Chains A and B, each alone.
Chain A
């Protein structure tokens, strides 16, 4: 395998907590020992419930918030160790797209100013070249040049998301973190944005970390999927395999909860009981054990933390997966 574009190793993000009178409480382990690679031009899907740590992971990779320990290497350089100056130049290589495209845009800036901002900050393009670049970027995301003069409130949700994407592309990044980019969009607009991200990935050789809770959407965008639960990756592998034969019981439950747009197929649903666990501290052993329904679950699941290990074509962190 060629050199990965992004290598994440044992990344942990713990939030310290204090109780009344300053008493120390166990930290919240939002991300707890996560490792994976993304190759140049590859899209990795990241799925999991709210609170599983997937957004925290995405933001920490871009160093938008501090990590507790671990490594994040982008093109060989450890983002968590580089100086501020070096981080500034590296920021151009990695960008983010947000769920709420309205909230991510400054309401007082025109679409053109929003797209140009990154180029100006990073001195990416000579000033004279900026208007032409802005027009080209807007065209690339399917907006006409007149859009440059309009403000965010004059656009629909789908169009605002296109502006967010053009803004991210303005500095020619190699890697994009997309945090639930289509969750707030209507089904038809969602299809447009998914199609566009796929084209951009191919045309620009962009690598994506695509965070979403909708497995059917992730499958369209990413050839590999990582499943997160309680701050850990519990399954990682080719999308086809993870979705057709999920190995981790949590992935099985997640998969079976997806509504299928076909009344003829009403598969036996695994309806999970209970709630996602507290992360302060997470349950000992396997974090999923309090909700697990695997017939072979045993005392080991409660005491020993399962590591990701090869199970058929995927990696799964379950003592009993086969």
Chain B
């Protein structure tokens, strides 16, 4: 039984002329208790919009045009805006990129945490203060009592990212969505932050959705992976299965483009072409213009995300791909 489930999410943007575009176009995901799912893809594939849609948000003038986000049997998207707010920042926490100026520069950390605790936990006064300090300690910030009085500019990038995680934890979320939480950080700090997210997930039994373009992070810190391309999930698998037997040509191309720190010095191979514009998604499989294995069917008919056969117990495999070439090998 999954903790969070998204079904057929679509995010739509109107255009001055012509039909609306759908940068997220029918995305379904599920996340179990204590599980880490990575959502991977190039810039422009729709992964950040998907993350926001899971919170019931779409940047204006966009709207969530279709789909459901189920948490404990309730569809967040069916609720009025007021009801959604209890989920957003409450049952579903969100950790943005530190680089985006996500902390308020004129408020001390304690004030920012107090605000979140008042809204989501109805905590005030000394109770809120104690809770805020405990959260800062939980994310590994030193001298949490003194830290409450510090301002964002007094902290390093890594410390600010920890503070953002503490803010996301203030609502005691069951699910934490982290959008590129380490992109702006040094590699040593990145490792610290990812270790922290992993530890919090285990200690709190939270589901973690890690949005990233870095397959290296995926390998070390996720249980399952969903690969996104041109607004759709094209492959989904346990992390070991994805790296050992990538089924979608896009996944294989992404893996080949990553430079390796170990082993032979094979130069990374770029993926020819670029991610198509949402105003002109290709027909059939959206990857077909860049695909080395393209079949006639790929140009005409969109493939569906389907299990790659059955396991020894007869159940359909959890490794799924949306690819006609993979379908033929099934």
Contact = CB atoms under 8 A, between A and B. Distances in A.
Interface in B262-287: 262, 265, 267-271, 274
Contacts of A269: 191, 195
28 contacts: A49-B188, A50-B157, A187-B42, A187-B213, A187-B257, A188-B42, A188-B253, A188-B270, A190-B257, A191-B257, A191-B259, A191-B270, A195-B267, A215-B187, A216-B259, A219-B259, A220-B259, A220-B265, A220-B267, A220-B268, A253-B188, A259-B220, A260-B216, A260-B219, A261-B260, A262-B262, A263-B220, A272-B188
Interface centre among B186, B191, B259, B265 (most CB of A within 10 A): B259
Given A191-B268, A254-B188, A263 B217 contact: no
Per DSSP, chain B at the interface is helix
A190 B268 contact: yes
Contact of A261 (B158, B159, B213, B216): B216
B261 interface: yes
Interface of A: 49-50, 156, 186-192, 194-195, 198, 213-217, 219-220, 243, 253-266, 269, 271-272, 275
Contact of B192 (A213, A260, A265, A271): A271
A201 B184 CA distance: 29
Nearest to B189: A49
Interface centre among A213, A263, A272 (most CB of B within 10 A): A263
Contacts of B270: 188-189, 191-192, 195
A262 B271 CA distance: 20
A258 B187 contact: yes
Nearest to A189: B270
A216 B42 contact: no
A158 to B, nearest CB: 8
A194 B259 contact: yes
Interface of B: 42-43, 156-159, 186-192, 194-195, 213-221, 239-240, 243, 253-255, 257-262, 265, 267-271, 274
Nearest to A49: B186
Contacts of A275: 156, 158-159
Contacts of A190: 257, 259, 268
A194 B269 CA distance: 10
A43 B2 CA distance: 50
A269 B243 CA distance: 21
A259 B267 contact: no
Nearest to A48: B186
B291 to A, nearest CB: 14
A224 to B, nearest CB: 14
A271 B259 contact: no
Contacts of B188: 49, 253-254, 257, 271-272
Nearest to A215: B261
Contacts of B267: 191, 194-195, 198, 220
A191 B267 CA distance: 8
A299 B71 CA distance: 56
Nearest to A256: B191
Given A191-B269, A266-B220, 15 more contacts: A156-B274, A187-B214, A188-B254, A188-B257, A191-B267, A192-B270, A194-B259, A194-B268, A195-B270, A216-B216, A216-B260, A259-B221, A269-B195, A271-B192, A271-B195
A259 B217 contact: yes
Nearest to A50: B186
